[in-house]
């Protein structure tokens, strides 16, 4: 069967087949309960042609060119569970065509050209559970259409052209748990429309044009756990609108135009775990607004215009695990503001304007495994900052103004696996700063000003897999410095000033997979340097000064492979050179 790209994630035909096909174990023959006509470029289909298929449970007519069904030809397959007519050219659909399908549970009509459903054109299938009418051209939607669908659990009318729902257009389906109205043209939404959805758990209003919710427009769905209002035009949001949501766990206000939250406009949802206010226009944020959110685990304030947090503005959410304040305009950050967040695992302060962290301002989080301070204006790094973070795995310090790293090392952080210090102003790097980081796998030093490494400056990290020293000012590199890196797979030396590698300067890393020496000024290359690299797959010598020797035939593909095969290197090896 061809893949169904149009179907929503609630419907997976493979799962359907696993659950619904009944096998005659004796004969190993599946009962014929599936009709698959998807992707056949059909322009017409007559349902009376399959009226005798009494056991049919799935009809898949998706991804065809069907413009209409004969209004007088009813679907008579009473055991039908799923009808998929998505991805066609239907401009209308009469629901009475399926009224005899008493067991119908899933109806997929997405990606058509349907502009409206006539008044009185209601769905009579009481067992319908999932209805997907997304990606059509509906300008309005009458909820009366589904009033007889007493078991409807999920409805998707996203990505249409709906501008409003008429007042009094109340939804009566008490079983509904998921409602998706995203990607329309709504400028407002009256929550009274869904007040009878007593079991509603998720509502998606994202990607509309909503500018505000009127005062008194309260949401009354007490079981709601997920509310998405991202990608709208809200300039503020009143949290009292959602105070009745005692089960709310996720609130997404991302990509709006919110400039501020008024004082006293506190979030009262004690079970809230994920709050996303990123990509707005906030200039400040008072953490006191969320102090009642005792279960909060993720707070995203990234991509705003926040310049500072006052010393009194502390975060009191003890269960907070992920704090993202990246892409703001902070010039300083006091870690004392978050000292009560003892369960923090990730802190992202990247891409601000931070020049310093306060004196004695350490990060005292035993569970922290990722700290990102990249993209700031830091000139010095104080190791006291992270001395108590014994479980840190990922440390990003790249794209700052570090000229040297002194007065400490990274060796207390035994679990460090990724260290990025690229795009700084380092002129050298002492590898003994990381000698005890036994689990280090990725070291990134690219785009610094490193001219050389001392002959005794060995890298002792046996589990190191990637070493990136590209974009520096190295004139040579001694491969014996990395001889103890038994697991090294990727070595990036591109875009330096390397003129040559001395004879006998062998690469001893047998697991090396990729060697990039492009963008240097090499005039020659001794292939016997690679004699121990039996797993090498790519060597990149492009953009060097090998032109003359290449023209003389020394560096053609055949010659290189022949040379490397002397050391049993070759096979899948790719050799890249241009001139």
Q: Flag whether pLDDT at 230 surpasses 90.
A: yes
- Percent of the chain scored above 90 by pLDDT? 59
Backbone angles phi, psi at 310, to 5 degrees: -70, 160
pLDDT category of residue 312 using cuts at 50, 70 and 90 = confident
Q: Domains of the chain, with CATH numbers?
A: 1-162 (3.80.10.10), 308-315+324-401 (3.80.10.10), 426-579 (3.80.10.10)
pLDDT category of residue 548 using cuts at 50, 70 and 90 = low
For residue 505, give the DSSP letter.
-
**381 or 433: which leads in pLDDT:** 433
By CB neighbour count within 10 A (0-12 exposed, 13-18 middle, 19+ buried), where does 554 fall? Answer: middle
pTM of the model: 0.88
Q: Flag whether pLDDT at 10 surpasses 50.
A: no
Q: 487 near 463, Cβ under 8 Å?
A: yes
Q: 432 near 409, Cβ under 8 Å?
A: yes
What are the C-alpha distances in Å from 313 to residues 227, 328, 451?
27, 17, 45
Give the range among 23-32, 199-208, 226-235, 274-283 with minimum mean pLDDT.
23-32
Full DSSP string of 246-300:
TT--EEE--SS------TT-----TT--EEE--SS--S---GGGGTT-TT--EEE
pLDDT (tens digit, 9 = 90+) per residue, 264-278? 788 999 999 999 999
Give the helix/strand (H/E) hosting 549.
helix 547-551
pLDDT (tens digit, 9 = 90+) per residue, 444-468? 999 999 999 998 999 999 999 999 9
Backbone angles phi, psi at 287, to 5 degrees: -65, -15
Q: What is the greatest pairwise CA distance in the chain?
A: 87
* pLDDT value, residue 174: 82
Q: How far apart are CA 482 and CA 188, in angstroms?
A: 62
When the pLDDT of each residue in the chain is averaged and rounded to a whole number, the result is 87
Q: How far apart are CA 189 and CA 173, in angstroms?
A: 18
- Percent of the chain scored above 70 by pLDDT? 86
| Paired strand residues for 418 | 394, 442
């Amino acid at each position: 069967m061809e893949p169904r790209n149009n179907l929503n994630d609630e419907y997976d035909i493979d799962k359907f087949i696993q659950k619904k096909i009944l096998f005659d174990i004796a004969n190993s023959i599946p009962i014929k309960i599936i009709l698959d006509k998807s992707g056949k470029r059909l322009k017409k289909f007559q349902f009376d042609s399959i009226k005798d298929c009494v056991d049919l449970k799935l009809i898949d007519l998706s991804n065809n060119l069907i413009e209409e069904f004969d209004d007088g030809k009813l679907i008579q397959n009473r055991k039908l569970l799923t009808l998929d007519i998505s991805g066609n050219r239907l401009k209308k659909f009469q629901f009475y065509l399926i009224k005899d399908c008493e067991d119908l549970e899933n109806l997929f009509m997405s990606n058509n050209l349907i502009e409206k459903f006539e008044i009185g054109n209601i769905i009579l299938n009481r067992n319908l559970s999932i209805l997907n009418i997304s990606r059509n051209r509906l300008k309005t939607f009458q909820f009366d259409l589904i009033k007889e669908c007493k078991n409807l659990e999920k409805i998707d009318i996203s990505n249409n052209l709906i501008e409003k729902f008429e007042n009094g257009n109340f939804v009566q389906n008490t079983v509904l748990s998921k409602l998706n109205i995203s990607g329309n043209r709504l400028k407002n939404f009256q929550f009274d429309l869904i007040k009878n959805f007593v079991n509603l758990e998720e509502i998606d209003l994202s990607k509309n044009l909503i500018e505000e919710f009127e005062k008194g427009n309260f949401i009354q769905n007490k079981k709601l756990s997920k509310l998405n209002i991202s990608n709208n035009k809200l300039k503020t949001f009143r949290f009292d609108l959602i105070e009745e949501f005692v089960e709310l766990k996720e609130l997404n206000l991302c990509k709006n135009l919110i400039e501020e939250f008024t004082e006293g406009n506190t979030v009262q949802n004690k079970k809230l775990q994920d709050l996303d206010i990123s990509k707005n226009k906030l200039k400040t944020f008072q953490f006191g607004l969320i102090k009642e959110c005792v279960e909060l685990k993720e707070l995203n304030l990234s991509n705003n215009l926040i310049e500072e947090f006052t010393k009194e503005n502390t975060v009191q959410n003890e269960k907070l695990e992920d704090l993202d304040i990246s892409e703001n305009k902070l010039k300083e950050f006091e870690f004392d503001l978050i000292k009560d967040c003892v369960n923090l695992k990730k802190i992202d302060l990247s891409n601000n304007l931070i020049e310093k962290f306060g004196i004695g301002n350490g990060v005292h989080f035993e569970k922290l495994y990722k700290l990102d301070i990249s993209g700031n204006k830091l000139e010095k790094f104080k190791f006291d900052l992270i001395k108590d973070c014994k479980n840190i795995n990922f440390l990003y310090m790249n794209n700052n103004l570090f000229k040297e790293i002194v007065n400490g090392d990274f060796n207390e952080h035994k679990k460090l696996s990724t260290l990025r210090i690229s795009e700084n102003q380092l002129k050298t790097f002492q590898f003994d700063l990381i000698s005890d980081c036994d689990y280090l796998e990725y070291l990134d030093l690219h785009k610094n000003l490193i001219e050389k490494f001392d002959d005794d400056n060995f890298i002792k990290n046996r589990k190191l897999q990637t070493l990136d020293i590209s974009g520096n000012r190295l004139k040579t590199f001694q491969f014996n410095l990395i001889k103890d890196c038994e697991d090294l797979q990727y070595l990036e030396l591109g875009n330096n000033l390397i003129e040559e590698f001395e004879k006998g300067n062998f690469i001893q890393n047998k697991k090396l997979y990729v060697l990039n020496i492009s963008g240097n000024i090499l005039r020659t290359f001794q292939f016997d340097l690679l004699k121990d690299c039996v797993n090498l797959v790519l060597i990149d010598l492009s953009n060097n000064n090998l032109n003359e020797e290449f023209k003389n035939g020394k560096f053609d593909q055949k010659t290189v492979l022949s040379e490397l095969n002397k050391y049993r290197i070759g096979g899948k090896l790719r050799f890249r050179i241009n001139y």
